[in-house]
Amino acid sequence: MLNAKRVAIIGVFAALAFVVMYIEIPIFPAVNFLKYDPSDILVLLTAFIYSPTVGVIVLAIKDILFFIFKSQDIVGIAMNFAAGALFIVPAAIIYGKKNRFREILGYIIGTVAATGGMALLNMIVVPYYWKIPLEEVFKLLPWIIGFNAIKFSIDSVINGIIHRRVKNILEPDEAKI
Ligand code: RBF
Protein backbone atom coordinates (compact mmCIF):
# COMPACT_ATOMS: atom_id res chain seq x y z
CA MET A 1 0.00 0.00 0.00
CA LEU A 2 1.25 3.49 -0.78
CA ASN A 3 0.69 6.00 2.00
CA ALA A 4 2.18 9.50 2.34
CA LYS A 5 5.14 8.25 4.38
CA ARG A 6 6.04 5.65 1.76
CA VAL A 7 5.75 8.12 -1.12
CA ALA A 8 8.09 10.47 0.78
CA ILE A 9 10.58 7.65 1.47
CA ILE A 10 10.51 6.58 -2.19
CA GLY A 11 11.25 10.18 -3.23
CA VAL A 12 14.17 10.40 -0.80
CA PHE A 13 15.62 7.09 -2.04
CA ALA A 14 15.33 8.17 -5.69
CA ALA A 15 17.10 11.46 -4.88
CA LEU A 16 19.81 9.67 -2.89
CA ALA A 17 20.30 7.13 -5.69
CA PHE A 18 20.68 10.00 -8.19
CA VAL A 19 23.42 11.63 -6.07
CA VAL A 20 25.20 8.32 -5.45
CA MET A 21 25.26 7.71 -9.23
CA TYR A 22 27.87 10.50 -9.51
CA ILE A 23 30.37 8.02 -8.04
CA GLU A 24 31.43 6.51 -11.37
CA ILE A 25 34.19 3.94 -11.07
CA PRO A 26 35.39 2.19 -14.26
CA ILE A 27 36.39 -1.29 -13.08
CA PHE A 28 38.21 -2.50 -16.23
CA PRO A 29 40.25 -0.11 -18.44
CA ALA A 30 39.33 -2.16 -21.54
CA VAL A 31 35.67 -1.23 -21.05
CA ASN A 32 35.93 2.13 -19.29
CA PHE A 33 32.49 3.16 -20.57
CA LEU A 34 31.12 0.72 -17.97
CA LYS A 35 31.16 2.53 -14.67
CA TYR A 36 30.34 1.13 -11.26
CA ASP A 37 28.25 3.16 -8.88
CA PRO A 38 26.41 1.87 -5.80
CA SER A 39 23.07 3.56 -6.60
CA ASP A 40 21.31 0.30 -7.49
CA ILE A 41 21.67 -0.77 -3.84
CA LEU A 42 19.23 2.01 -2.92
CA VAL A 43 16.95 0.85 -5.74
CA LEU A 44 17.12 -2.76 -4.56
CA LEU A 45 16.34 -1.70 -0.99
CA THR A 46 13.07 -0.08 -2.12
CA ALA A 47 12.25 -3.10 -4.30
CA PHE A 48 12.79 -5.44 -1.32
CA ILE A 49 11.03 -3.33 1.30
CA TYR A 50 8.09 -2.25 -0.89
CA SER A 51 7.74 -4.04 -4.25
CA PRO A 52 9.50 -4.68 -7.57
CA THR A 53 7.27 -2.01 -9.15
CA VAL A 54 8.38 0.59 -6.60
CA GLY A 55 11.97 -0.43 -7.34
CA VAL A 56 11.51 0.13 -11.07
CA ILE A 57 9.95 3.56 -10.37
CA VAL A 58 12.92 4.57 -8.16
CA LEU A 59 15.33 3.27 -10.85
CA ALA A 60 13.53 5.30 -13.55
CA ILE A 61 13.53 8.53 -11.48
CA LYS A 62 17.23 8.09 -10.69
CA ASP A 63 18.10 7.57 -14.35
CA ILE A 64 15.93 10.43 -15.66
CA LEU A 65 17.53 12.85 -13.15
CA PHE A 66 21.04 11.61 -14.05
CA PHE A 67 20.30 11.98 -17.76
CA ILE A 68 19.04 15.57 -17.33
CA PHE A 69 21.61 16.87 -14.84
CA LYS A 70 24.76 14.90 -15.65
CA SER A 71 25.22 12.55 -18.58
CA GLN A 72 22.87 13.62 -21.42
CA ASP A 73 23.81 10.25 -22.91
CA ILE A 74 20.60 8.42 -23.73
CA VAL A 75 22.37 5.16 -24.62
CA GLY A 76 24.31 5.02 -21.36
CA ILE A 77 21.20 5.81 -19.32
CA ALA A 78 19.09 3.25 -21.20
CA MET A 79 21.78 0.61 -20.59
CA ASN A 80 21.99 1.55 -16.91
CA PHE A 81 18.21 1.24 -16.64
CA ALA A 82 18.14 -2.10 -18.49
CA ALA A 83 20.91 -3.54 -16.30
CA GLY A 84 19.27 -2.30 -13.09
CA ALA A 85 15.83 -3.63 -14.07
CA LEU A 86 17.22 -7.03 -15.18
CA PHE A 87 18.80 -7.32 -11.75
CA ILE A 88 16.24 -5.93 -9.30
CA VAL A 89 13.02 -7.32 -10.82
CA PRO A 90 13.96 -11.04 -10.65
CA ALA A 91 15.81 -10.55 -7.34
CA ALA A 92 12.85 -8.86 -5.64
CA ILE A 93 10.25 -11.24 -7.12
CA ILE A 94 12.19 -14.35 -6.04
CA TYR A 95 12.86 -12.89 -2.58
CA GLY A 96 9.16 -12.09 -2.21
CA LYS A 97 9.78 -10.91 1.39
CA LYS A 98 10.19 -14.57 2.36
CA ASN A 99 13.40 -15.98 3.87
CA ARG A 100 17.18 -15.80 3.63
CA PHE A 101 17.31 -18.70 1.16
CA ARG A 102 14.88 -16.98 -1.23
CA GLU A 103 16.81 -13.74 -0.80
CA ILE A 104 20.15 -15.33 -1.77
CA LEU A 105 18.53 -17.21 -4.66
CA GLY A 106 17.13 -13.84 -5.79
CA TYR A 107 20.59 -12.27 -5.78
CA ILE A 108 22.02 -15.16 -7.79
CA ILE A 109 19.25 -15.23 -10.40
CA GLY A 110 19.22 -11.41 -10.61
CA THR A 111 22.98 -11.28 -11.14
CA VAL A 112 22.85 -14.03 -13.78
CA ALA A 113 19.89 -12.36 -15.58
CA ALA A 114 21.57 -8.93 -15.62
CA THR A 115 24.95 -10.34 -16.65
CA GLY A 116 23.51 -12.52 -19.44
CA GLY A 117 20.98 -9.95 -20.63
CA MET A 118 23.54 -7.13 -20.72
CA ALA A 119 26.05 -9.30 -22.60
CA LEU A 120 23.42 -9.68 -25.35
CA LEU A 121 22.36 -6.02 -25.25
CA ASN A 122 25.96 -4.83 -25.45
CA MET A 123 26.51 -7.01 -28.54
CA ILE A 124 23.68 -5.11 -30.20
CA VAL A 125 24.38 -1.60 -28.89
CA VAL A 126 28.19 -1.28 -28.69
CA PRO A 127 28.88 -1.72 -32.47
CA TYR A 128 26.67 1.33 -33.13
CA TYR A 129 27.74 3.32 -30.09
CA TRP A 130 31.49 2.99 -30.71
CA LYS A 131 31.19 2.32 -34.47
CA ILE A 132 33.31 -0.82 -34.24
CA PRO A 133 32.74 -4.20 -35.92
CA LEU A 134 31.05 -7.00 -34.00
CA GLU A 135 34.32 -9.00 -33.95
CA GLU A 136 35.89 -6.23 -31.89
CA VAL A 137 32.96 -6.24 -29.50
CA PHE A 138 33.34 -10.01 -29.06
CA LYS A 139 36.83 -9.37 -27.71
CA LEU A 140 35.28 -7.09 -25.07
CA LEU A 141 32.69 -9.67 -24.06
CA PRO A 142 34.68 -11.21 -21.16
CA TRP A 143 35.19 -7.73 -19.69
CA ILE A 144 31.52 -6.84 -20.12
CA ILE A 145 30.47 -10.10 -18.45
CA GLY A 146 33.04 -9.58 -15.69
CA PHE A 147 31.90 -6.00 -15.09
CA ASN A 148 28.24 -6.92 -14.67
CA ALA A 149 29.00 -9.99 -12.55
CA ILE A 150 31.17 -7.89 -10.21
CA LYS A 151 28.76 -4.93 -10.13
CA PHE A 152 25.72 -6.95 -9.15
CA SER A 153 27.64 -9.22 -6.78
CA ILE A 154 28.85 -6.16 -4.84
CA ASP A 155 25.29 -4.77 -4.79
CA SER A 156 23.95 -8.15 -3.58
CA VAL A 157 26.45 -8.48 -0.74
CA ILE A 158 25.89 -4.92 0.52
CA ASN A 159 22.11 -5.23 0.22
CA GLY A 160 22.27 -8.56 2.05
CA ILE A 161 24.11 -6.90 4.93
CA ILE A 162 21.95 -3.79 5.28
CA HIS A 163 18.45 -4.57 4.02
CA ARG A 164 16.94 -5.89 7.27
CA ARG A 165 18.33 -3.01 9.28
CA VAL A 166 17.02 -0.46 6.80
CA LYS A 167 13.63 -2.21 6.78
CA ASN A 168 13.52 -2.11 10.59
CA ILE A 169 14.09 1.62 10.51
CA LEU A 170 11.61 2.38 7.74
CA GLU A 171 8.84 -0.13 8.48
CA PRO A 172 9.27 -1.21 12.12
CA ASP A 173 5.72 -2.66 12.34
CA GLU A 174 6.14 -4.91 9.32
CA ALA A 175 9.76 -5.94 9.74
CA LYS A 176 9.84 -9.62 10.60
CA ILE A 177 12.24 -11.18 8.16
N1 RBF B 1 25.80 -0.46 -17.24
C2 RBF B 1 25.71 -1.70 -16.69
O3 RBF B 1 25.47 -1.84 -15.51
N4 RBF B 1 25.89 -2.82 -17.45
C5 RBF B 1 26.16 -2.76 -18.78
O6 RBF B 1 26.33 -3.81 -19.42
C7 RBF B 1 26.25 -1.48 -19.39
N8 RBF B 1 26.51 -1.37 -20.72
C9 RBF B 1 26.68 -0.11 -21.27
C10 RBF B 1 27.02 0.02 -22.62
C11 RBF B 1 27.21 1.28 -23.19
C12 RBF B 1 27.57 1.41 -24.63
C13 RBF B 1 27.08 2.45 -22.36
C14 RBF B 1 27.30 3.82 -22.95
C15 RBF B 1 26.74 2.32 -21.04
C16 RBF B 1 26.52 1.06 -20.46
N17 RBF B 1 26.18 0.92 -19.12
C18 RBF B 1 26.07 -0.34 -18.57
C19 RBF B 1 25.94 2.10 -18.26
C20 RBF B 1 27.23 2.69 -17.67
O21 RBF B 1 27.89 1.75 -16.84
C22 RBF B 1 26.87 3.95 -16.83
O23 RBF B 1 26.06 3.59 -15.74
C24 RBF B 1 26.15 4.97 -17.65
O25 RBF B 1 26.88 5.25 -18.83
C26 RBF B 1 25.93 6.26 -16.88
O27 RBF B 1 27.12 6.89 -16.57
- Residue pLDDT, tens place only, 68-107: 999 999 999 999 999 999 999 999 999 999 999 999 999 9
| 134 alpha carbon – ligand 1 mean position (Å) | 18
Q: Is the CB of 10 under 6 A from ligand 1?
A: no
Distance CA 4, CA 2 (A): 7
Identify the structural domains of the chain with CATH numbers, from first to last.
Answer: 4-22+37-171 (1.10.1760.20)
Residue 35 sits at φ, ψ, to 5 deg, of -120, 130
Number of neighbouring beta carbons within 10 Å of residue 141:
14
pTM above 0.75, yes or no: yes
Contact 84, 61 (CB under 8 A): no
pLDDT of residue 174: 62
